[in-house]
Amino acid sequence: MALLYLLLGIIAGIAAGIFLRNLQLERKEKATKAKVEDIIHEANRLAESVKKESLLSAKEEILQERKTLEEEVREKRKELQTVEDRLLRREDMIERRIDQLEKKESTLENLKQEVTSKLSQAEELKEAQEKELTRIAGLSVEQAKEELLRTVEKNLEYEIGLKIKESEDRARKESERIARELVVNSIQRYAAEFTADNTVAVVSLPNDDMKGRIIGREGRNIRAFEMMTGVDLIIDDTPEAVIISSFDPIRREIARISLEKLIGDGRIHPARIEELIEKAKLQVEDRIIQEGEQALFDTGVKNINPDLIKLLGKLYYRTSYGQNVLQHSKEVAFFAGLMAGELGLNPAVVRRAGLLHDIGKAVDHEVEGPHALIGKELVSRYGEREGIIHAVEAHHDDVEPKTIEAVLVQAADAISASRPGARRESLESYIKRLEQLEKIAGDFEGVDKTYAIQAGREVRIIVKPEKLDDARATKLAHDVVKRVEKELEYPGQIRVTVIRETRAVEYAK
């Protein structure tokens, strides 16, 4: 019984425990459900709050955007209103102008009708007057004009002819007398020696043994001398003298000076020859400057560019038809100055133009074209005045002379050239042919120097060895011959010699 009671007690305890546990679990479940419901309720409340806030924010943004759009619309409307007002004003202005133009057009149409009416009346009046005059005179209008002109012409023709003839005769006689007096007085007041120029120079020797030293072993000295100077050295039976022949006075002078120095020095070999030739070139350049300055002093011309002075000095070694060009230029300056003084002009200006008139001849063998136009470019380049430039370019009628100074220079040039003994035509033609021969040879590529010697019977061409080899040098001689035969007229035959020399120099130290 005790065990039974114990079991019943245990069972009752277990049942009570289970009941209490279930009761506790129900309480916990109810509490949990209550918390869940609270959480759900709070979440719903928060969601509703967020939703409201979002709606409010969206409404505010929409309101702000609406305000912005409304503001923009108002601005656009204002602008459109402004444009519309401007267009309306322009339309009003255009309408007013159209009204004004219509009024002007109407006025012009009225004026046109009035003018047409008046012209018609004038034509009718003119026709009536012409008919009346024709009836009175018995002539038509054209016949009356012709008759009147014929009568006046007959009355004046003879008298006009007499007056014109008398004026022309008087002007011709007076101008011829004045011109004759000017030319005669100028020539009488200037005296100059006749031209006696040639193309050779004679160098005296201390003895005939010197000829052999000049020739050198196997002719090496004379070959070197001729090649470096471009002259023809003639050694013949003339006692104690050798002859230097060249159409170019500058080459001839350089050769004469260097040969005289070689003879005086006594050391004659190719190196010494080359050294003295270079010194002679410098000496001739100094002489050129001295002659240019002397020409300025003789003619009283001042303030000339140094380059022009050098070009003037070169004219000392140039001849034109046998006449020394620098002497001719000074003569032209004197003649032009004398005639300018007689006419009451400024002699200094005319003398300056006369001295410079042939300056183009200093470079005409280097530049293509008439020497008058070459001279014009030179004096223009070196700062001469317009009057001087025009006198230089017009002295041979390449340009028509437009000033009295230009005419005086032209006349003085003719006086100096035409005086007895001033020029020799044959020498000038000879020199031009030799210059043309050298120019033809110098036009080929690779040519360094060209020399026409032996009175034009030979042209020596010194080529640049680095540009032409031996084979091309031979071809060059053939090409030069063909071109000379085609372009040049000459007596006999011309020998073309092409020289190609290569030097090797070292120094022992």
Whole-angstrom distance, CA of residue 53 vs CA of residue 61: 12
Cα-based torsion angle of the residue sequence 244, 493, 452, 265 in order, rounded to the nearest 10 degrees = -30
Sheet of 447-453: strand order equals 447-453, 458-463, 495-499
Q: Provide the pLDDT for residue 144.
A: 67
**Helix (H) / strand (E) containing 319:** strand 319-320
DSSP assignment, residue 465? Answer: T
Per-residue 3-state assignment (H helix, E strand, C coil) for 397-461: CCCCCCCHHHHHHHHHHHHHHHCCCCCCHHHHHHHHHHHHHHHHHHCCCCEEEEEEEHHHCEEEE
Report domain extents, the chain.
1-128, 139-184, 189-299, 432-499
- Written as one letter, the residue type at 178 is I
Is there a contact between 329 and 345 (Cβ–Cβ < 8 Å)? no
Backbone angles phi, psi at 67, to 5 degrees: -60, -45
CA distance 206 to 75: 118
- Which residues face 202 on adjacent strands? 243
Domains 189-299 and 432-499 share a fold: no
Report yes or no: 226 and 497 within 8 Å, Cβ to Cβ. no
Top-level CATH class of 432-499? Answer: alpha beta
Tell me how far apart the alpha carbons of residues 82 and 284 are, in angstroms, rounded to a whole number. Answer: 92
User: How far apart are alpha carbons 259 and 438 in whole angstroms?
Assistant: 24
Rounded distance, CA 260 to CA 266, Å?
10
Helix (H) or strand (E) holding 474: helix 470-487
Contacts of 458 (CB under 8 A, 6+ apart): 232, 452, 494, 495, 496, 497
Report whether 370 contacts 402 (CB < 8 A): no
Per the confidence metrics, is the pTM higher than 0.75? no
How does strand 200-204 pair with strand 241-245?
antiparallel
Question: Which CATH number applies to 189-299?
Answer: 3.30.1370.10
* pLDDT for residue 319: 76
For the chain of 509 residues, list the mean pLDDT of each consecutive stretch of 10: 76 79 79 83 84 84 88 88 89 88 86 85 78 64 70 66 68 60 52 49 85 87 88 83 84 89 87 91 91 90 89 85 82 87 86 90 77 89 90 86 88 73 52 81 88 77 86 86 83 80 70
**CA distance from start to end of the chain:** 156
What is 1-23 written as a DSSP string? Answer: -HHHHHHHHHHHHHHHHHHHHHH
Give the whole-angstrom CA distance, residue 408 versus residue 421: 22
pLDDT at 352: 92
Query: CA 403 → CA 165, 267, 333, 389, distances in Å?
Result: 27, 59, 16, 11
